[in-house]
Amino acid sequence: NAGVTQTPKFRVLKTGQSMTLLCAQDMNHEYMYWYRQDPGMGLRLIHYSVGEGTTAKGEVPDGYNVSRLKKQNFLLGLESAAPSQTSVYFCASISSGTEGANTEAFFGQGTRLTVV
């Protein structure tokens, strides 16, 4: 049972380069999220998806794009990387469940991205 898998785990980019982070989950969850985590800032929501083919902006969406072409995959793209995007990126998935139900978030192992 793999849960949530992120690739790659580490990456160094030069300013202006592009890359795509892949998140894959095998739990048939409806909701998927991309967060970034910076020292002292906690987890901040970049984009999220409530189902296949749908995406929405979170708290810090600028400089990122996402796609959810398949239910199990949620891709995060950086079109032109900047040093301010140096961070640890976490993907999470949640079952839709019923209102009030315990629907904990399952996280991937994280991607440590450095933009130089």
Partner 1 sequence: GQNIDQPTEMTATEGAIVQINCTYQTSGFNGLFWYQQHAGEAPTFLSYNVLDGLEEKGRFSSFLSRSKGYSYLLLKELQMKDSASYLCAVRAASGGSYIPTFGRGTSLIVHP
Cβ 90 to partner 1 shortest distance, Å = 6
Contact 18, 79 (CB under 8 A): yes
Contact between 98 and partner 1 (CB under 8 A)?
no
Shortest spacing between CB 51 and partner 1, in angstroms? 9
DSSP per-residue string spanning 18-31: -EEEEEEESS--SE
Max CA separation in the chain (angstroms)? 44
Site string for partner 1, 20-59 (x = CB under 8 A): -----------x-x-x----xxxxxx--x-x-----x-x-
Nearer to partner 1, 3 or 83 (CB): 3
CA dist., res. 83 & res. 114, Å (int): 7
Task: List C-alpha distances in Å: 100 to 30, 45, 50, 83.
Answer: 16, 21, 17, 40
- Residues in touch with partner 1 (CB under 8 A): 31, 33, 35, 40-45, 48, 50, 56, 58, 90, 92, 94, 96, 99-100, 102-110
